Amino acid sequence: MTIGAAAGEARSTLTIGDVLAHLKVEFPDLTISKIRFLETEGLVQPERTPSGYRKFSQGDVARLRYVLSQQRDHYLPLRVIKDQLDSIDRGLVPPGAAADSPRPAHIAVASIQGNAPTAEHFRPAPAAMRMSRDELLNAAGLRSDQLSELEQFGLITAKPGGHYDDDALAVAAIVADLARFGLEGRHLRAFRTAAEREVGLFSQVVAPLGRQRGSEAKARAEEAVRELAALSVRLHAALVQIGLREVVGGS
């Protein structure tokens, strides 16, 4: 079924409650307020009855499922998903082919092309994994002494009870990749310091949003977190790439 809003769909017959019931099993955190928020952001445009009630088609439901899947599985912000949907509506991109599978980490640099680095986006969701120390070492490909060093410098912290979560795995996997270039935990303390400074800076933006009540306000706050984290990754990648290019080029 096409994701486009029109594309020969039958008449709209679903209420917003029906849509929530259709998608709630696949997306347990979905609320009516979130659906309304996605409408205000232009991701879906249900018909309206003369009395103002929303009436959704099966195409609208498919469109919402696509948006929610891209957020959950690919960590994309709404503006990127909207661009994808616009391309799909124009027939430029076939449904389901708009994005590659992401790396299993909260932050992953997808690719850097020319002077325009891009990054998959932070997903502000609670960590769910519970791994022992040995499980984390095996999953990330780290040695015990490497993990101890990361803990010493505050890059990874065990949870109460001694287990590790998927945030720890994300950091450990990236450090394991950096270790192939001879970089160790002591070299990476600056990343922790820089991240803490960015958190302090960006908190001034997202904290007021987080204090607002309602599901729509929460959705906007999460979107701001996702967007700011991604822009930070892109800026950092651009600056590092520019600096290393000058080193290699000798300019």
* Least confident range of 7-21, 40-54, 58-72, 74-88: 7-21
pLDDT for res 90: 79
Q: In the CATH scheme, what architecture does the domain 16-100 have?
A: Orthogonal Bundle (1.10)
Question: Is the entire prediction scored with pTM above 0.75?
Answer: no
Confidence of residue 246 (pLDDT cuts 50, 70, 90): confident
pLDDT for res 204: 87
- Compute and round to an integer the Cα radius of gyration of the chain: 21
pLDDT for res 93: 60
Of 104, 169, 98, 96, which is closest to residue 130 (Cα–Cα)?
169
pLDDT over 70 at 114, yes or no = no
CB hemisphere CA count around 196 (13 angstroms): 7
- 132-178 pLDDT, tens digit per residue, is 899 888 888 889 999 999 999 889 999 988 889 888 888 888 888 88
Determine the average pLDDT of the residues in 114-122. Answer: 36
Domain-wise residue ranges, the chain? 16-100, 133-249
| DSSP-derived pairing of the beta strands 111-113 and 54-55 | unpaired
pLDDT over 60 at 9, yes or no = no
Residue 141 host element (H or E): none
Confidence of residue 228 (pLDDT cuts 50, 70, 90): confident
